[in-house]
Amino acid sequence: MSSFPGQLRFRVDLDELAHRLGPFCEAKYETRDVEVFDVHHMPGHAGFAYGFSVRLSRGTDSWFIRLPPPNVNWRGTADVLRQVEVLNALDGTDVPHCTVRWSGSDLEWFDRPYFVVPRLDGDVMRLGPGEWVEKLSEKQRFELGREVMSALAKIHKVDVEATPYLGDPVPFVEDVERWDRFYERAADPEMLARVPECRKRLLETLPIEAPVGIFHGDFQTSNLFCSDDGKLLAVIDWELTGIGATLNDVGWICTFSDRKAWGGEGAGRPVFLEPELLMDLYVEAYGDPLPDLNWFRALAAYKFAIITGFNLSLHRRGKRVDPTWEQTRLSMEPLIRRAIELLD
């Protein structure tokens, strides 16, 4: 389930992509002794991501390519070069990430910008009965949490001068007001009745002194890729990255770990670690003084309630069919209620 409004699900034809990958790999490997195979859609990723393998005389390499979907403007989440900018900025740091092997804005190979990274062995964090995270010991889970929040703190301290392509910082007030237009088009508006109250409280208590830097934009367990033994290998899926309030990332992962924020089946949702522990681990890793993190948790809950209402509207109108939003809708009221509680 794609969380954010406006993320696209158009896909590139796999036969055409395989046809184009052949000469691309010949050029990049500087040999005609290559065979491209196993070209496939990657799960999730809003339709932007594809896996493929290359057979060579010395063995096989496996790769992951990101492309904008066809017939869209290459802006926002469709601008894959924003991701390249951040991933390149992370080179030379100890933030676990996928190093870009090839990238380009030229249209020679795929008629659109692209980047390619190695395919890693492992899986994203999966929670719930029978999933691998649930099999970790309490100590292993804690140590993984420390790795995750340490990586996030290091991302937030990367020099923004290394990422000029990301543009100017997003103003704090815009972090609140940008959701107005989605709220106006949300389904089941009665479940968002307290949105105006919550919005007012958020604007009245803006944490003006909060740090500004590179943010991930969708920092949650499904975007954390780990080894089979529970070590963080890479923070993935940087479509929503930008410059702005870095602590929004902390609020986001904490909201997805906050049982009090969810309703329906989500009220019993499995969580990675409790939000208070995640915050403590982040503060420990960041080192410098920080404002009240509960404001950012409140903003995250506010945002996701509105996102749910908007995506529910798209689903019901057949614009982007995804029945999971019918279940998630039961958390719209609890999310807003939780946001207001955190602001008290």
Residue 97 belongs to a domain? yes
pLDDT, tens digit, 9 for 90 and up, residues 98-124: 999 999 998 999 999 999 999 999 999
135/254 same-domain check = yes
Indicate the residue among 54, 83, 118 that finishes a domain.
118
Indicate the residue among 118, 145, 175 that finishes a domain.
118
> How many whole angstroms separate alpha carbon 184 and alpha carbon 282?
34
pLDDT, tens digit, 9 for 90 and up, residues 31-85: 999 999 999 998 764 457 899 999 999 999 999 999 987 777 787 778 999 999 9
47/151 same-domain check = no
77/141 same-domain check = no
Task: State the amino acid at position 35 in one-letter form.
Answer: E
Q: Identify the pLDDT of residue 43.
A: 75
264/277 same-domain check = yes
Low pLDDT (below 70) residues in the chain:
1-11, 44-47, 265-266
> How many whole angstroms separate alpha carbon 22 and alpha carbon 178?
43
78: domain CATH number is: 3.30.200.20
Residue 161 belongs to a domain? yes
Q: Identify the pLDDT of residue 76.
A: 77
135/201 same-domain check = yes
* pTM, entire model: 0.93
184/148 same-domain check = yes
Reading the block at residue 184, the tokens are 């106006």
Q: Identify the pLDDT of residue 20.
A: 96
Q: Identify the pLDDT of residue 7.
A: 47
Query: Quick check: 225 and 234 in contact, CB under 8 A?
Result: yes
Mapped onto helix, strand or coil, the DSSP state of residue 35 is strand
Residue 6 belongs to a domain? no
The CA-atom distances, in angstroms, between 110 and each of 7, 105, 113, 122 are 21, 10, 7, 28
Q: Helices 195-204 and 294-316, interaxial angle, to 10°?
A: 150
292/229 same-domain check = yes
The CA-atom distances, in angstroms, between 14 and each of 66, 131, 176 are 13, 30, 39
Indicate the residue among 118, 152, 168 that finishes a domain.
118
Residue 164 belongs to a domain? yes
Task: Name the residue range of residue 74's domain.
Answer: 14-118
Residue 298 belongs to a domain? yes
The H or E element containing residue 100 is none
The CA-atom distances, in angstroms, between 340 and each of 133, 210, 343 are 31, 20, 5
> How many whole angstroms separate alpha carbon 159 and alpha carbon 186?
37
Nearest to 144, CA basis, from 276, 272, 247? 272
89/186 same-domain check = no
Residue 46 belongs to a domain? yes
Residue 5 belongs to a domain? no
160/71 same-domain check = no
205/114 same-domain check = no
Residue 67 belongs to a domain? yes
**Number of folded domains in the chain?**
2
Tell me 31's DSSP state: S
Q: Identify the pLDDT of residue 63.
A: 98
Query: Quick check: 50 and 67 in contact, CB under 8 A?
Result: yes
Which residues on adjacent β-strands are paired with residue 124? 225
Nearest to 79, CA basis, from 66, 71, 68? 68
113/127 same-domain check = no
80/135 same-domain check = no
> How many whole angstroms separate alpha carbon 63 and alpha carbon 318?
34
